[in-house]
């Protein structure tokens, strides 16, 4: 059960989302950009340094507290939650876990304060759900690393002061690099126009002879694929709670509308068909959240060395995949049902639920499509069965 302190932090995040995100979410969706001051406000609350140690200016949250905050932010605005999850999860997390003392001192304080926004540059046109297929390359050139390639769907790309970048350093070897956003050879090659998350800063990043010094290599050379898979586990757990936040928002909007909308002389909330939809929304969204919490507990146990495995049906990778699969499909279903409850109004752009449906669909695609996640889960089931 959450502690009183965790519940207080959750309440703070909810109040922030209600006051600073919800009133602007339609405007940001229409303009396809977030407010210039939103990251400063997040930084003031410490929400850009949630997984960063206190010695580097962060809050040093455990994963459960981190997930509680992410859900509330997604309840307020999905694009904001996605930006925070990339910055505070895979980017800050990998540096916290694998960086040298010098790398931590250089990057973690400005990441925690919001002076630097982090982006995760893994996916490529031919390597989305399968990071082992990436073709970007890095080689030692003089006293620097030279990186060449093109990264797709990079969230926070335009604003990023740090690109956590993955590139091949050998035929069978992938490494992780800390690339400053203003490094020579780094350019933004176009912003995506997306169905949902329209305010999200999702871009293509071109790396044309981008150069970083020897201190730009994160962890050991060749450890990149291991880093990427760990980051995907964390990212999928984060996606699960974000989806829960969007699904919960859809349920609450639908319930409120059902109490107001009258047909045949009574609120439609009194009809059994509507009540059944709301009950199923609550059950499915709650299930996704619980699975995310269980996956987070498994990840913390594994990282601490106390218990648990990365592989296996009960391992971190399978649990993260299951949580993301269930929560994302629950969110899409709940948002779709919310549109149905609203009827004709649900199809209109100036009502909130159609945006929630567009956003929810994204959770079924990024951080590994749900088709890939079913393969990941099945692989672990078969492994346990001895196949």
Active site residues: 367
| 97 burial type by CB count under 10 A (0-12 exposed, 13-18 middle, 19+ buried) | middle
Cα separation values, 140 from 25, 145, 170, 277, Å: 45, 5, 11, 58
Q: Name the nearest CA neighbour of 109 among 31, 169, 49.
A: 49
Cα–Cα distance for residue pair 174/128, rounded to 1 Å: 15
Provide the 10 A C-beta neighbour count for residue 290: 15
Q: Name the nearest CA neighbour of 235 among 175, 183, 296.
A: 296
Cα–Cα distance for residue pair 128/125, rounded to 1 Å: 7
Contacts of 262 (CB under 8 A, 6+ apart): 268
Contacts of 157 (CB under 8 A, 6+ apart): 119, 121, 163, 188, 191, 201, 202, 203, 204, 205
Task: Find out whether 164 and 88 touch, Cβ atoms under 8 Å.
Answer: no
Cα separation values, 210 from 167, 192, 309, 316, 331, Å: 12, 22, 37, 34, 39
Cα–Cα distance for residue pair 372/362, rounded to 1 Å: 15
Beta strand ranges found along the chain (DSSP E): 118-121, 137-141, 144-155, 162-170, 173-180, 186-191, 202-213, 217-218, 262-263, 266-267
């Amino acid at each position: 059960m959450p502690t009183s302190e965790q519940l207080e932090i959750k309440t703070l995040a909810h109040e922030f989302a209600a006051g600073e995100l919800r009133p602007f979410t339609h405007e940001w969706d229409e303009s396809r950009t977030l407010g210039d001051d939103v990251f400063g406000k997040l930084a003031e609350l410490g929400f850009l340094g949630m997984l960063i140690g206190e010695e580097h200016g962060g809050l040093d949250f455990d994963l459960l507290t981190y997930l509680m905050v992410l859900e509330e932010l997604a309840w307020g605005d999905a694009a904001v939650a996605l930006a925070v999850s990339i910055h505070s999860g895979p980017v800050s997390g990998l540096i916290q876990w694998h960086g040298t003392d010098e790398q931590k001192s250089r990057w973690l304080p400005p990441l925690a304060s919001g002076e630097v926004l982090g982006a995760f540059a893994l996916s490529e046109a031919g390597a989305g759900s399968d990071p082992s297929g990436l073709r970007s390359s890095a080689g030692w050139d003089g006293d620097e690393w030279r990186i060449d390639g093109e990264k797709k769907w990079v969230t926070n790309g335009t604003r990023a002061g740090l690109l956590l970048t993955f590139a091949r350093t050998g035929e069978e070897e992938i490494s992780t690099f800390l690339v400053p956003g203003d490094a020579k050879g780094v350019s933004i090659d176009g912003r995506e126009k997306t169905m949902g998350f329209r305010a999200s800063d999702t871009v293509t990043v071109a790396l044309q002879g981008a150069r970083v010094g020897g201190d730009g290599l994160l962890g050991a050379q060749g450890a990149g694929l291991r880093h990427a898979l760990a980051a995907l586990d964390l990212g999928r757990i984060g996606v699960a709670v974000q989806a829960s936040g969007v699904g919960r928002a859809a349920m609450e909007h639908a319930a409120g509308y059902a109490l107001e909308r009258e047909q045949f002389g009574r609120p439609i909330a009194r009809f059994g068909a509507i009540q059944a939809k709301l009950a199923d929304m609550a059950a499915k969204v709650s299930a996704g959240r619980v699975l995310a919490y269980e996956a987070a507990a498994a990840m913390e146990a594994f990282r601490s060395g106390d218990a648990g495995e990365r592989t296996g049906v009960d391992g971190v990778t399978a649990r993260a995949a299951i949580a993301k699969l269930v929560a994302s499909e629950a969110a899409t279903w709940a948002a779709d049902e919310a549109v149905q409850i609203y009827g004709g109004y649900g199809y209109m752009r100036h009502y909130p639920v159609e945006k929630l449906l567009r956003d929810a669909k994204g959770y079924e695609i990024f951080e590994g499509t749900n088709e890939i996640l079913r393969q990941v889960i099945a692989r672990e089931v078969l492994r346990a069965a001895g196949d």
